Structure 1
Amino acid sequence: MTRPEVWLVRHGQTEWSRDGRHTSRTDLPLTPEGERAARSLTDRLATTSFGLVLSSPLTRARTTAVLAGFADPTIDDDLHEWRYGDYEGITTPQIRETDPDWSLWTDGAPGGESPGEVAARTDRVVARVRGDSAERVLIFAHGHILRVLAVRWLGLPAADGVHLRLETATVSVLGWERETPAVVRWNA
């Protein structure tokens, strides 16, 4: 097993991410602010070399990659955002009007994915990254999937992603503390 460093980039702002609406299959473009923030990542990422660059297939992640200086990332369907099913386009406060105790992290989404299904997808990404020869990997994706990826990197349950707030157009780094998976930097 290799011990790569994994850089995670959440896509730039979309209209729905700005408004707190669950966005999975709805393939929204970045807002002008989201485009500006994605471009601002260029200088932060340009001084580092990556042996593997992956992206979600969704436009907002791929556009962020391009604007950040990575025109041809490898698309990985496992990096698609958590599928929200019946809750697509709805905010958490709206959901809690009818289900006050609902939590995506423990309940998943009706008509969408469970935490276990999302964990299985991120486990495949972790295995891919650790099985690759790249010393440093760059991933462009989405808020919830990246939070699950981070906790699965650490060997924790998907539900623990609730503890990792992640803003748009930020860079986080996963790595190692000796032989133990670790979070090196978060939400920077």
Structure 2
Amino acid sequence: MIYLVRHGETEWSVERRHTGRTDVPLTERGRAEAAALAPVLGKLHADRVLTSPLSRARDTCALAGFGDRAEVDDRLVEWDYGQAEGRTTAEIRVDDPAWSIWTHPMAGAEALESVATRVDQVIAGLGDPQQVTLIFAHAHLLRILGARWCGQPALFGSNLVLDPASVSVLSFEREVPVIERWNVVADAIS
């Protein structure tokens, strides 16, 4: 099983700003959300813990009780949004009313398929599907990972929403990769 954990709240996630490579820290609420994951995730016998190198994911991992076991994986860094970085969708749509991060690349941004290639590499490197793996990362990257886990195009991630400090579970039904649970927050899983 693979547990996907989105980092806790940041100032930019509250403001709904595209937060790719900018290393925005957790808010106090985000730190509390991350700590609230500890009693829930602590019940797992994780064989492997992976985290994005960005502090909001690493701090969530540590506050959830796995910082000492985590392997930093640079492939788990969030999508590079280029000129969309730090901007809201509403701000961008002033100039381009149909804009979507999923369908309208920005100058300097990483291509959606490049993000898909990174998550495909992560999935391929997970090894034994019976192992329990925790992955601490970011909303768009994890949405793409969920899509790719199920053999869907990366664009399918646009149909998956993730709240801060949420947990999602990827597993198998027989041999078929499935999304077992999606976007569960600590209050609902404890």
Instruction: Name the TM-score, length of structure 2 as normaliser.
Output: 0.93
> Aligned residues: percent identity?
51
CA shift, 1:102, in A, is 1.4
Name 1:182's counterpart in structure 2.
178
C-alpha contact (below 8 Å) 1:84/1:111 kept by paired residues? yes
In 1, the alpha carbon distance for the partners of 2:136 and 2:59 equals 9
Name 1:14's counterpart in structure 2.
10
Give the residue type in structure 2 aligned to 1:101.
A
Q: Deviations over 1:54-112 (max 9, x none)?
A: 00000000000000001231001110001001110000011111111112112333201
- Gaps spanning 5+ residues in structure 1: where? none
Instruction: Name the TM-score, length of structure 1 as normaliser.
Output: 0.94
CA shift, 1:132, in A, is 4.6
Query: More helix per residue: 1 or 2?
Result: 1
Q: Deviations over 1:121-180 (max 9, x none)?
A: 110011011x25761100000000000000000010111101101000011000011111
C-alpha contact (below 8 Å) 1:171/1:186 kept by paired residues? yes
* Count of matched residue pairs: 183
The root-mean-square deviation of aligned C-alpha atoms, in Å, is 1.1
- Gaps spanning 5+ residues in structure 2: where? 185-190
* Cα 1:152/1:133, change in 2 over 3 Å: closer
In 2, the alpha carbon distance for the partners of 1:75 and 1:132 equals 19
1:111 equivalent to 2:108? Answer yes
Point out 4+ residue stretches in structure 1 off by more than 4 angstroms: none
C-alpha contact (below 8 Å) 1:78/1:125 kept by paired residues? yes
C-alpha contact (below 8 Å) 1:51/1:134 kept by paired residues? no
Name 1:101's counterpart in structure 2.
98
C-alpha contact (below 8 Å) 1:175/1:181 kept by paired residues? yes
Name 2:20's counterpart in structure 1.
24
SS of equivalent to 2:163: coil
